[in-house]
Amino acid sequence: MNKIALKRTGVAAVALSAALTMAACSSDSGSSSSSSSTSAAAATSSTVTNPEPVATIPAISGGDTAVALDAGFLDALTTLGITPGVIGGATLDGTTLDFPITGGTATVYPKDSGYRPFVQGAIFHQGSGISLTAGANVIQLENFVVVPSKPAILFADVSVNGELAAASFPLFNLNGTTLEPVTVDSSGNAILTGTQVEVSAAAADFLNTTLGAPNAVPANFLVGVATLTIPTGS
């Protein structure tokens, strides 16, 4: 399967641009820009009376998002002949990817308050990302925007062999059901850990088309578990 997938990649990548653009257009109403993503997050707030937030950061400055990669995801990359890499300010240390936060806003409410989503805002990671190399073809996923709305999604700009295929593409679903209660460390950083990063249905179609392997990557495939460290200024 691996050899067949790599032989088909060059042809599939040409058709992929159109497929990605169509998928991106289908989600434009909620993801075509950072401002619309922020609005979507605000619009999905629960009608429960606002509790006192754990942290309110009107302008995030610094921090990072780390993703501890799942063993199953790493095994799948190996099986499919994909070599992961990092872009810009991102780092890969062992099995942990790390992306610097470059801006955004965040308001965090107690998880047990009943207010949903209990994390709101938009968190930007401009100038960094990951690359996936399969043979002579390189997929670049960068400029991540985390929007913790309902559903929570990570958007990214997607390029194939240096050509932009889709902007603000809904790359990963963020499953917050396992998110632990927010804590604030001694340095005043809000720590949000436990969110499961999962491949979206659109991203699964994209990867399967590129690899020429229809069932290689299923929707909601677990990529890893995220930990966000956000300075609160306190």
pLDDT digits (tens, 9 = 90+) for 174-200: 998 898 988 889 998 989 999 999 999
Contact indicator for 124, 102 with CB cutoff of 8 Å: yes
- DSSP label at 180? P
**23 or 139, higher pLDDT:** 139
What is the tens place of the pLDDT at every residue in 41-64?
444 455 557 788 887 889 999 999
pLDDT-derived band at 133, boundaries 50, 70, 90:
very high
pLDDT-derived band at 233, boundaries 50, 70, 90:
confident
What is the tens place of the pLDDT at every residue in 153-176?
999 999 999 999 999 999 999 998
**Strand ranges (E), the chain:** 55-57, 64-69, 83-88, 91-93, 96-100, 103-108, 119-134, 137-147, 153-160, 163-175, 183-184, 189-199, 222-231
| Range in 10-19, 83-92, 134-143, 168-177 with the lowest mean pLDDT | 10-19
pLDDT-derived band at 215, boundaries 50, 70, 90:
confident
Average pLDDT over residues 70-91: 95
Residue ranges of the alpha helices (H) in the chain? 2-26, 28-31, 34-43, 71-79, 201-211
Average pLDDT over residues 206-234: 88
| Range in 98-102, 149-153, 176-180, 209-213 with the lowest mean pLDDT | 209-213
Show the tokens assigned to 33. Answer: 């820009």
- Give the DSSP H/E element, type plus range, for residue 32: none
Q: Say whether pLDDT at 135 is over 50.
A: yes
| Spatial separation of the C-alpha atoms in residues 118 and 147, rounded to whole Å | 12
Query: Looking at residue 23, what is its pLDDT?
Result: 37
| Spatial separation of the C-alpha atoms in residues 91 and 82, rounded to whole Å | 18
Average pLDDT over residues 202-222: 88
Residue ranges of the alpha helices (H) in 145-200? none
Measured over the CA atoms of residue 18, residue 20, residue 22 and residue 28, the dihedral's sign is: negative
Contact indicator for 101, 56 with CB cutoff of 8 Å: no
**125 or 39, higher pLDDT:** 125
| Spatial separation of the C-alpha atoms in residues 93 and 114, rounded to whole Å | 36
CA separation, residue 227 to residues 14, 137, 138, 168 (Å): 35, 30, 27, 22
Show the tokens assigned to 88. Answer: 């810009």
Whole-number average pLDDT of the chain: 81
Query: Looking at residue 113, what is its pLDDT?
Result: 84
Average pLDDT over residues 129-144: 94
Residues 6 or more apart whose CB falls under 8 angstroms from that of 136 comprise 9, 10
